[in-house]
Chains A and B, each alone.
Chain A
Amino acid sequence: MALDSILATRLAPSERDLNPTSDESLVQRARDGDYAAFEVLYERHRTLVFRFAYQMMPRRDDAEDIVQEAFVRAYQNLGRYRDEAKFTTWLLRIVSNLCTDQARMGNRRTALEQQEAAGALDWMTVGDTDDPIGNLEQDRQRDVLRRALNALPVHHRSVLILRDIEEREYVDIAQTLGCTVGGAKLRVLRARRALRDRVAPLLGEE
């Protein structure tokens, strides 16, 4: 199932109701000086962009800052947006570049208080099943996977998030990365291999 349809079911009704027109026409209106049209685009796609940004740097504050910066840059460079690509693809490309820059600058913090707080909250909440031990094992595996994902180089992480977490189509991934579809498939395969190599010893430690 495409991410857009998944998101459509996850979005709040108020956010879904904000889609009276297509992205392209909203972009055109925003180019013509209609800031309200850009706000509609922002409300429509900020969750998608935030999800990607959060996976790239799992600290909510950082992810929100990235999203905000991405939309500011999108607004600033709206004249450069070419209609051949989807607006979301263009946005994801901006976010991906921002996350890459952030990772290169070494500003990403690894120990995340917020994530730990969320993990502590998970302890107190009811899991998916009635089996508490099963929930603990799920949490452990998820934690292992999260750590392995965060330990990957940013180019591996971004393609895994796009394809295997956000379930983007290869065509979109190729446009986001600025490569061919075949190149995108190859990058995803390499990233999966890298993740597999990292996860295996982490799961085998205990």
Chain B
Amino acid sequence: MTMKPHNDDQLLNCAFGDITPDEAMRIEADAARNAELRERLDSYQNLRAGLRALGDKVPDHQLSNERLRDAILARGLSTTARPISSPRWWQMAWMPIAAAAIAAVVFMAKPNRPVTPSVAIKQGDNLFVVPTIDAPKASEAVAMRVSEDDAIAARNYAAVLGGMPLEGSAPSPRQREAVRPSPTSRRMSEGRTVPSAPMAMIASGGTGLAAAAAPTGPSAAFGSGAPSMDAPARDDVATHPIVLIDSEPDANTGASRATEVGSPSNVIVGG
């Protein structure tokens, strides 16, 4: 019978009792015939015995209940009768549930009125306004600053509508997007019988100002001295208050100055 070679891991497991009795007997039998194997196995068994002996040299502790109680109290915990509750799912879920409930209440309490912004702009000596039928208040006016390219694109858009020659180069995709009816305006016009109006572009000098679309408003009006492109727009202006928003801030409040005018005679209307 030939002796199978054993590696150190097998010998370690044998010495520490982590192999089956059959394997242990086989290794012991091999070790009985091999002095070198016997020596290695003995050294590992001594190692195990030495480790076990370390467990016998543990001194007595001086831990006491009073010491633990002091430590617990020092940590701010209580040792009096007080249930220590384990975290339950409903204790952790109250916050998102409450947030969802508040959001639902706010959503349901919100009045269902369409947002129809209007814009009135004063840019130097030129006054521009985009009135809307449903939003006569100045607080509902919305304006954003756009570049000259966007203004040119808007003029071109209006020119196409009115059969006038185009100005400058062809509008870029971004510019086309600027004069296209916004999704918001499309949404606002849904459910109504009136068509969706494009975004109104108003320009003066190097920088223009664009107004958000009015669902039922006029199509566009551009530039200093430019004619109104849509007659109904002037009618709308005439029947509604016109608010002019100055681009320069008010000295007292710091906000853009707003002026309500009754006559549209000095106002160029677009939309």
Contacts and interface: CB of A to CB of B under 8 A. Distances in A.
Nearest to B74: A72
A164 B87 contact: no
Contact of B68 (A71, A189, A193): A71
Interface stretch (B9-17, B22-30, B101-109, B198-206): B9-17
Given A30-B84, A33-B81, A33-B82, A72 B72 contact: yes
B173 to A, nearest CB: 57
A145 B85 contact: no
A33 B84 contact: yes
Contact of A80 (B68, B79, B87): B87
A13 B40 CA distance: 42
A193 B7 CA distance: 12
B12 A192 contact: yes
What is the size category of the interface that chain B forms with chain A? 35 or more
A138 B53 CA distance: 10
Contacts of A68: 63, 67-68, 71
Contacts of B54: 55, 142, 145-146, 149, 165
Nearest to A144: B50
A165 B55 contact: yes
A54 B83 contact: no
A79 B65 CA distance: 21
Nearest to A195: B47
A72 B75 CA distance: 8
Contact of A50 (B51, B57, B63): B63
Given A33-B83, A35-B79, A68-B68, A165 B51 contact: yes
Contacts of A39: 65, 68-69
A161 to B, nearest CB: 9
Of B51, B69, B80, B81, chain A has the most CB atoms within 10 Å of the CB of: B51
Contacts of A54: 58-59, 61
Contacts of A187: none
A64 B75 CA distance: 17
Contacts of A76: 75, 77
Contact of A166 (B16, B55, B82): B55
Nearest to B51: A164
Given A33-B83, A189-B13, 18 more contacts: A31-B86, A34-B81, A39-B69, A46-B63, A54-B58, A64-B63, A71-B68, A75-B77, A76-B77, A78-B84, A80-B87, A142-B54, A142-B57, A149-B51, A164-B52, A167-B55, A185-B18, A195-B47
18 contacts: A31-B86, A32-B84, A33-B80, A33-B82, A39-B68, A42-B65, A46-B61, A55-B54, A72-B72, A75-B72, A79-B85, A141-B46, A142-B50, A164-B52, A189-B12, A189-B13, A192-B12, A196-B8
Interface of A: 30-35, 39, 42-43, 46-47, 50-51, 54-55, 60, 63-64, 67-69, 71-72, 75-76, 78-80, 118, 138, 141-142, 145-146, 149, 160, 164-167, 185, 188-189, 192-193, 195-196, 199
